[in-house]
Amino acid sequence: MIHGINNIFNLFYFLIILRIFLSWVPGVRWENQPWKTVRDVTDLYLDIFRRIIPPFGGLDFSPIVAIIVLQIVQNAVIFMIAKAAG
């Protein structure tokens, strides 16, 4: 069970990092699949941090904070599951 939950978190990390790299590519058509799905799934989470951390000098630092928070949540979830399985 822990392995499966870790895989879900790892998939989400991958999607966030893919979203970051794709934002640097000027020709990406976000309205086309699969990019629309990547944008829609990751922006639901990233928008929380974008409201708190505005871009600085044209750079969006919110994904860094979002990944750090996601790691904290992942560790807490894994710890609680491991403790409950005991």
SS3 29: coil
Which backbone phi and psi does 59 adopt, to 5 degrees?
-105, 135
Sequence ranges of the domains in the chain: 2-85
SS3 44: helix
pTM of the model: 0.88
| pLDDT at residue 1, rounded to an integer | 86
| pLDDT at residue 83, rounded to an integer | 93
| pLDDT at residue 4, rounded to an integer | 94
Averaged pLDDT, groups of 10, the chain, 86 residues long: 93 96 94 96 96 90 95 96 89
Q: How far is CA 63 from the centre of its chain?
A: 7
Q: String of b and e for 48-76 (b: at least 16 CB within 10 Å)?
A: ebbeeeeeeeeeeebbeebbeebeeebee
